[in-house]
Amino acid sequence: MTGKISEIFESVQGEGLYFGDRQLFVRFFGCNLKCKFCDTKQDVFVECDLRQLFGKIMTYKGKYRFISFTGGEPLLQVDFLKQIMELTHKSRFKNYLETNGTLAEALAEVIEYVDIISMDLKLPSSTGIKENLWLKHRKFLKVASKKDTFLKAVVSEGTTEEDLYVAINLIRESGKGMVLVLQPNYYDDYRKLEPKLNKFKDACMKEGIVSCIIPQMHKMMGMR
């Protein structure tokens, strides 16, 4: 079995609750969504078999707690992802999954080997995606709630309060008290976004949802 891998690199986690944590990143090729704010341009990949990829990962053993399986969307290659995660899990790495939160059945296949899930909530007014992803997110959260999961939502100049409240209701339905990270769109002027971010954070607090505002810290630091 082989997988399509765009790159393997060392860096600092720049998004979400684990920002600042040094991690090894394994970037899977391909995504099932096209968000207008996407900053990951994937043009090339290498076909790796499990032995090759695991051997590369093991050269970093002892340097990192977490391996971030990112993309693209790693769950598109669920069979390969499951096998490599099983190997890294047995080798006492912590498996950190970055996902767009739309492939619930695939997540169920790997959930036993996942330690942390960083799940995107794709707000329609932020992504520009016409497809309604709320049902997919709801199904995904039912599986993800079995593990330590936090949520990220990109907030742009066009993001609506209506979408925020749908997201709040989804989090409440999960019953797990998941934290919502409000992530300002890197391509927008933060000074213009700040009032909206604060308004959204206040709305979350009033609705009993724990939230925080965390920019893409790796970009602010000039890192990958």
Closest CA to 99 of 88, 109, 89: 109
Instruction: Show the tokens assigned to 94.
Output: 């912590």
Total of domains in the chain: 1
**In whole angstroms, how far apart are CA 72 and each of 98, 110, 141, 191?**
9, 17, 19, 29
- Domain residues for 7? 2-220
Residues 6+ positions from 112 with CB-CB distance below 8 Å: none
Ordered per-residue pLDDT tens for the chain, 224 residues: 899 999 999 999 989 999 989 999 999 999 999 998 887 878 899 999 999 999 999 999 989 999 999 999 999 999 999 999 999 999 999 999 999 999 999 999 999 999 999 999 999 999 999 898 999 999 999 999 999 999 999 999 999 999 999 999 999 998 888 999 999 998 899 999 999 999 999 999 999 999 999 998 655 555 55
pTM of the predicted structure, to 2 decimals: 0.95
Q: What CATH code is carried by the domain that includes residue 108?
A: 3.20.20.70
The answer, yes or no, to whether the previous bond of 72 is cis (omega within 30 of 0) is yes
What are the backbone angles phi and psi of residue 178, rounded to the nearest 5°?
-70, 145
